[in-house]
Structure 1
Amino acid sequence: MKAKKGIVFGLAAVMALSLTACGSGKTEVANTQEETSGGKSSFSVAMITDTGGINDQSFNQSAWEGLTELKKRTGAEVNYIESKQASDFVTNLERLGDSGADLLWGVGYACADAVLEAAGGNPDIQYAIIDNAYEETPSNVTGVMFRAQEPSFLVGYVAGRTTQTGKVGFVGGISSGLIDQFQYGFEAGVKYAAKELGKEIDVSVQYAESFSDAAKGKAIATRMYSDGCDVIYHAAGGTGTGVIEAAKEADQWVIGVDRDQAYLAPENVLTSALKLVGKAVQEVSEQAINGQKIGGQTLTFGLKEECVGIPVEHGNMPEGVYEDTLKVEDKIRNGELTPPTTNEEYQAFIAK
Structure 2
Amino acid sequence: MKKKLCLIITIVIIMSVLSGCGEKAEIALITDIGTVEDGSFNQGVWDGIRRYVDETAISYDFYRPSDTDLDSYMKAIKTAVKRGAKVVVCPGELFGEVVYTAQFKYPKVSFILVDGEPHNEDYSDETIADNTMAVVFSDEQAGFLAGYAAVREGYTNIGFLGGDTQKPVIRYGYGFVQGADYAAIELGKMVTINYCYGKTFEESPEMVQLASSWYQNGTEVIFACAGAMGHSVMKAAEENGGLVIGVDVDQSRESPTVLTSAMKELANASYRGLSDYYNGSFQGGKTLLMDAGNDGIGLAMDTSKFVNFTDAEYNAIYGQLVDGKLVPYAGCDFGNTFDLTLVNTTVNYLELVDS
Task: Note the alpha carbon deviations across 1:124-171, whole angstroms, 9 max, x for none.
Answer: 11112122224321111111111111111111011112344x210001
> Aligned pair 1:94/2:78, yes or no?
yes
Partners of 2:303 and 2:273 in 1: CA distance: 30
| Equivalent residues of 2:153, 2:308 under 8 A apart | no
1:247-266 alignment runs, 5 A limit: 247-266=237-256
What is the identity, as a one-letter code, of the residue corresponding to 2:80? L
1-structure distance, mates of 2:20, 2:90 = 16
How many angstroms apart in 1 are the aligned matches of 2:162 and 2:44? 19
Amino acid at match of 1:117: T
Unaligned runs of 5+ in 2: 1-14, 119-125, 345-355
Letter in structure 2 aligned against 1:277: L
TM-score (norm 1): 0.84
- Partner in structure 1 of residue 274 of structure 2: 285
Give the count of matched residue pairs.
Answer: 318
Aligned-partner Cα distance in 2 for 1:285–1:29: 22
Q: Per-residue CA shift, 1:72-109, capped at 9, x if unaligned?
A: 11222111101231231000011101111111112111
CA deviations 1:225-249 (Å, max 9, x no partner) are 1121001101100111111111111
Give the 3-state SS of the residue equivalent to 1:156 in structure 2: helix
2:300 equivalent to 1:311: yes
Q: Which residue of 2 aligns with 1:129?
A: 113
Quick check: 2:252–2:303 contact (8 Å CA) kept in 1?
no
Match status 1:66 vs 2:48: yes
Q: Alignment identity in percent?
A: 26
1:49-198 alignment to 2 at 5 Å?
49-87=31-69, 88-134=72-118, 135-164=126-155, 166-198=156-188
Amino acid at match of 1:155: A
Aligned partners of 1:256 and 1:269 also within 8 Å: yes
Q: Secondary structure at the match of 2:300?
A: coil
- The residue aligned with 1:209 is 199
> Does the CA contact (< 8 Å) of 2:174 and 2:330 recur in 1?
yes
- The DSSP-based 3-state class of the residue aligned with 1:158 is helix
1:15-70 Cα distance to aligned partner (Å, 9 max, x none): xxxxxxx98334338578xxxxxxxxxxx211101112322211111111111111
| Distance of 1:196 and 1:235 partners within structure 2 | 25
Structure 1, unpaired ranges of 5+: 1-21, 33-43
Aligned residue among 209, 221, 241 for 1:219: 209
Distance verdict in 2 for CA 1:124–1:23, change over 3 Å: closer
The answer to whether the aligner puts 1:245 opposite 2:235 as a matched pair is yes
- What is the letter of the counterpart of residue 333 of structure 1? V
Counterpart of 2:219 in structure 1 is 229
Residues 151 and 308, structure 1, Cα contact 8 Å, conserved in 2: yes
Show CA shifts across 1:211-264 (max 9, x none): 123433322211111121001101100111111111111121110111111111
Task: Say if 1:141 and 1:295, in contact at 8 Å, map to a contact too.
Answer: yes
Distance 2:204 2:228 in 1: 6
Give the conservation status (yes or no) of the 8 Å contact 1:60–1:107: yes
Alpha-carbon distance between aligned partners in 1 of 2:225 and 2:187, rounded to the nearest angstrom: 26
CA distance in 2, matches of 1:119, 1:23: 25
Change (3 A) 1:315 1:99: closer
Cα gap change, 1:84 to 1:251, in 2 (>3 Å): farther
Q: Judge conservation of contact 1:163–1:230 (CA < 8 Å) in 2.
A: no
Contact 1:208 1:216 (8 Å CA) reproduced? no
1:326 aligns with 2:319: no
Q: Is the 8 A contact 2:93 2:166 kept in 1?
A: no
Alpha-carbon shift at residue 183 of structure 1 (Å): 0.3
